[in-house]
Amino acid sequence: MQYTEYANAADFLARMRVILEGDECANNLMLGNCLRLLSESPTFEQPPLFATIERDGDLALAAVMTPPYPLQIYVEDGSYSAVGFLAVQLAKSGRRITSVIGRESVGRAFAEKWSSETGAASQTRVRQLLYELRSVVQPVYPPGYFRVAESGDIELAREWARCFHKDCFHDGETGRAVRIAEDKLRQGALFFWVNGTCVSMAARTRPTPRGEAVCMVYTPPQERGKGYASAVVASLSQRILNEGKTFCTLYTDLDNPTSNSIYRRIGYQPVADSVHIEFE
């Protein structure tokens, strides 16, 4: 097997773009993040990673990591042996890998080999389902209306970003979520459902040629069970489709039956499992 690292996202996409766009929904995380890097120049805690593994000239695996975010792995069917080979190559290079995200079988295979190579203990942070929507099933909307977040909403966006992170990941490391919410608000990509006051939040992220993701869906506990999350997600999804995208995607916590049922009722269909594993 041949391991290759690329200098930047542009070089990596020159090799991978056609393949990733072949299943744009399932690959929205890797593809969307790489496309973002073509127009932005963020700084990272350590150099980002863009790599492929080929067997006899054919692609077996691709990997991307933009620290501090997890290592993302794409695997061609039947090429799972390349996952272990990737772990060996990264361990030899001295790369610091704090977490991995991908299909559950892929993530667990990498974690097992990484722990074997480095001695790092692993733990599952969250198990998820990737959903896709191509047509919104309009819910019975609750009282209120949908609107874009404004500059005066910044403190509320920060607070709800902290709460969203704690609900999803059960820890207090909320700084990254707050920065994301601030960026989304400035970009006009953060939205609320309003019924007297703001009662639910969602954001859009990672546009790809035909799709875009919905993220940071949060409703405070006292406002749950009233249809506000369905309303804000359905409204945002419809806006994305109206602007010309073919589909929307989102990730849900596999162990949260409430959120999974909400998204299914408005037209989201499960596409693939996913796991986020951390290394200690």
DSSP-based three-state secondary structure for 277:
strand
Mean pLDDT by 10 residues, the chain (280 residues): 96 97 95 92 85 94 94 89 96 94 95 96 94 97 98 97 89 86 97 98 97 97 96 98 98 89 96 94
Residue with tokens 């704090």: 98
How high is the pLDDT of residue 173?
A: 78
Q: What's the CA gap between 170 and 172, in Å, rounded? A: 7
Give residue-wise pLDDT tens across range 257-276. 888 999 999 999 999 999 99
**Contact yes or no for 199/144 (Cβ under 8 A):** yes
Whether the pTM exceeds 0.85: the reply is: yes
Contacts of 100 (CB under 8 A, 6+ apart): 70, 71, 72, 73, 107, 110, 111, 114, 276, 277, 279
Among 258, 261, 236, CA closest to 249: 236
Q: What's the CA gap between 273 and 128, in Å, rounded? A: 6
- Structure tokens, 156: 């509320």
Q: What's the CA gap between 73 and 79, in Å, rounded? A: 12
Sheet with 58-65, edge to edge strand ranges: 2-5, 49-55, 58-65, 71-75, 99-102, 269-279, 122-133, 247-253, 211-218, 197-205, 190-195, 145-148
Q: Over the range 119-132, which residues count as b (16 or more CB within 10 Å of their CB) and which as e?
A: ebebeebbbbbbbb
Contacts of 179 (CB under 8 A, 6+ apart): none
Give residue-wise pLDDT tens across range 123-154. 999 999 999 999 999 999 999 999 999 999 99
